[in-house]
Structure 1
Amino acid sequence: MSNVFREFLQKVGSGNHTAENLTRTQAATATKMMLLGEATPAQIGAFLIAHRIKRPTGEELAGMLDAYDELGPKLQPIASGRPAIALGIPYDGRTRTAPISPVTALLLAAVGQPIIMHGGDRLPTKYGLPLIDIWQGLGVDWTTLPLAKTQQIFEQTGIGFIYLPQHFPLTTSIWEYRDQLGKRPPLATMELIWCPYAGDAHVIAGFVHPPTEGMFQIALGLRGVTKFTLVKGLEGSCDLPRDRTAIISLSTSVTSQEVERLHLVPRDYGFTTKNVPLGTTEELVAEIQEVLAGKPGELMQTALWNGGFYLWRSGICSDMPEGLAKAEELLTTGMVAAKLQELIQLVNLVLGDVPFRVSTNSPK
């Protein structure tokens, strides 16, 4: 038993009237001790559920991020005139609405915006559809790439994926606790704003509950992150909803944490107020392939809505109307589909240990 961890547990687990918040340093230490197995299983399980009941603070989330930065993987900076976007999406996946973020990632990368995603397999508590399954359905298998080869793919295509079972196996034991407890611990909140990139980054994270937005802003501020976008998205993701007004917080300054609140109404831009329901993985992949082929449909509308916003937010387009027009151009002319084919080709080359080089005939 760790007496140090016992003290942390006593602080967060003392009840409504006497419980105390951890400092940033204490939260970092507690997180490292859980990941490294220095606390006992009883201590870890008790801490995770007690901390959930207490609710985390922004300072505690900052400490957890410090621990992930120290122990976890990072993609290294690449030559780009734009900060890399890190998309923070719930690791336990989607169960009700069709995800569009892989299309968004391909669309942004097609115009030179680097983008990083991260996650694992079907995980508790929802065991919903994870990003890794969608990518595999599209022909891109990130699961066996070591970090160095993922770095190569990222440098060449502008898209990187940190796959936790391969790149951050220390997190495996935490998922077992999460399954046994049946509840998301605060680590699940922290993961949304984790940025596994060593260079200049723009953190984009989804959230569900309004208090989470405030905690994110505090945590990011403590860590010196001044470029961020927080989206009250579908099932806690970065995907903008179509059935309601999209509520978004935007950082407005590169030197401070000034925040602008944005409300985007789908009807104002000609979109119907309907989210695409999630069917089987095979059905979703087929629908995404139709989007990449430029075919009209409900998922295409979702792709345009999201693509237009993120083209504007990343600075590629000057406003939403221009972003929407650019998203439509990229999808209907085959540029996004060409980016997927480039990605598939390069991943297969790397997996086959073929010398990694740029082909003059590769799609642009």
Structure 2
Amino acid sequence: MSDRFRTLLKKVGSGTHTSAALTREEAAEALRMMLQQEATPVQVGAFLIAHRIRRPTGEELAGMLDVYAELGPHLTNAVRPPMILTHPYDGRSRTVPMTILTGLILSATGVPTILHGGDRMPTKEGICLHEIWQQLGINWEGISLIRMQEIFQTTDLGFIHLPTHFPLAMNLVGPRREIGKRPPIATLELMWSPYLGDATIACGYVHPPTESMFRTALELRNQRQFITVKGLEGSCDLPRDRTCIIGINRPSIDNPETSTFERLLLHPHDYGYGGKEVPLNSLDELINNIKAVLEGEPGELMQAAIWNGGFYLWCAGVCADIETGLKHAQELLTQGMVAQKLEAIANSL
């Protein structure tokens, strides 16, 4: 048992009236001790559930991100700042995920793009990105970080697979399953950038207070370029059945050392892309639908792919406005260039 960790646990787990938030340094110390198994399984489980009940602060999440930056894997040397598309590690269960198609659209235009995640994860145990990649003919498992760096530089797309590239993080999967609730680490994963250098991070969320935590944590880490999306099931996928609530943080034009945050409300119907969300019924059906989109077939999933792809092409600076981005995304999909990108990635493994 770690006496030092017990002190940190007591601080966050002392109850409604006496518990207190950790400092950035203390939060970093606590996560480091959990990842490196200096805290016992009982201590880890107690900390995760106590921290969830108390709710993390942006400062605590900044400290935890410091540890992921210190101990986690990194890709680097992109030709331009990449787009980091984040996705809840415990997957999807209700709506079809668009993140992979969005990543392929971006990389097909030369925008370096990084996704990350693991295998099926508690508590939702939903369909994960790695599983979808596998069914599309790309298995990231076992590919070394050095080889992944080469693939990233060759294809403009990289995938950080937790079991392969960040085994320390896997030490917390068991406790996550046993406590039965998402811990604050799940929020941390939605704003983690496994890239060494400037990048744009697209962070999805469900509950509005989460966005505030994102902003505080990322600003403390001097991350000036990020996007927040009240997306589908906590992902950065834009909905089509409601107004998209988006925040865009950019370096200030007058002073790049500071940044500005802009609220953007996008109405899909205004652009001709409103509609019902595509339900997630089974993995087999999902893969068949994605393949149909890659072959240029029209339908609801094609509309969703264009809507997401067009928005992120605009965010990445490929297109001057969203309308142009939507048109470009449609061309990339219907003319087979996104399918060609998937094939190029498969051939590079």
Structure 2 length-normalised TM: 0.97
Instruction: Name the CA distance, whole Å, in 1 between partners of 2:159 and 2:192.
Output: 13
- State the shift of 1:43 in Å: 1.1
Percent of pairs with identical residues: 57
Once the two structures are superposed, the pairs formed by residues 21-32 of structure 1 within 5 Å of their partners are 21-32=21-32
Instruction: Name the CA distance, whole Å, in 1 between partners of 2:177 and 2:250.
Output: 39
The one-letter code sitting in structure 1 at the alignment partner of 2:47 is F
Q: Does 1:13 pair with 2:13?
A: yes
CA contact (8 A) 2:243 2:268 kept: yes
Unmatched 5+ stretches in structure 1: 348-364
Residue in structure 2 matching 1:85, options 76, 83, 86: 83
CA contact (8 A) 1:93 1:131 kept: yes
- State the shift of 1:273 in Å: 2.4
Unmatched 5+ stretches in structure 2: none
Secondary structure, counterpart of 1:258 in structure 2: strand
Instruction: Name the CA distance, whole Å, in 1 between partners of 2:196 and 2:25.
Output: 21
Secondary structure, counterpart of 1:252 in structure 2: strand
CA contact (8 A) 1:226 1:256 kept: yes
Residue in structure 2 matching 1:220, options 212, 218, 224: 218
CA contact (8 A) 2:87 2:99 kept: no
Query: Could you say which residue in structure 2 is the equivalent of 1:134?
Result: 132
More deviation in 227-236 or 192-201? 192-201
CA contact (8 A) 1:102 1:131 kept: yes
- State the shift of 1:42 in Å: 1.4
Query: Could you say which residue in structure 1 is the equivalent of 2:267?
Result: 265
Instruction: Name the CA distance, whole Å, in 1 between partners of 2:40 and 2:143.
Output: 32
Instruction: Name the CA distance, whole Å, in 1 between partners of 2:272 and 2:331.
Output: 17
Query: Could you say which residue in structure 2 is the equivalent of 1:146?
Result: 144
Instruction: Name the CA distance, whole Å, in 2 between partners of 1:38 and 1:21.
Output: 21
Query: Could you say which residue in structure 2 is the equivalent of 1:160?
Result: 158
- State the shift of 1:200 in Å: 1.7
- State the shift of 1:272 in Å: 3.1
Residues paired across the two proteins, number: 345
Instruction: Name the CA distance, whole Å, in 2 between partners of 1:100 and 1:192.
Output: 16
Query: Could you say which residue in structure 1 is the equivalent of 2:322?
Result: 320
Residue in structure 2 matching 1:231, options 210, 229, 232: 229
RMSD: 0.8
Once the two structures are superposed, the pairs formed by residues 169-180 of structure 1 within 5 Å of their partners are 169-180=167-178
Residue in structure 1 matching 2:344, options 328, 332, 342: 342
Query: Could you say which residue in structure 2 is the equivalent of 1:293?
Result: 295
How big is each residue's C-alpha offset from its partner over 1:126-159, in whole Å with a ceiling of 9 and x where there is no partner?
0000000111111111112011111111010000
The one-letter code sitting in structure 2 at the alignment partner of 1:303 is A
Instruction: Name the CA distance, whole Å, in 1 between partners of 2:108 and 2:257.
Output: 29
Query: Could you say which residue in structure 2 is the equivalent of 1:202?
Result: 200
Instruction: Name the CA distance, whole Å, in 2 between partners of 1:270 and 1:167.
Output: 41
CA contact (8 A) 1:77 1:200 kept: no
How big is each residue's C-alpha offset from its partner over 1:290-337, in whole Å with a ceiling of 9 and x where there is no partner?
111111011000001001100111110011110111011111111111
Query: Could you say which residue in structure 2 is the equivalent of 1:350?
Result: none
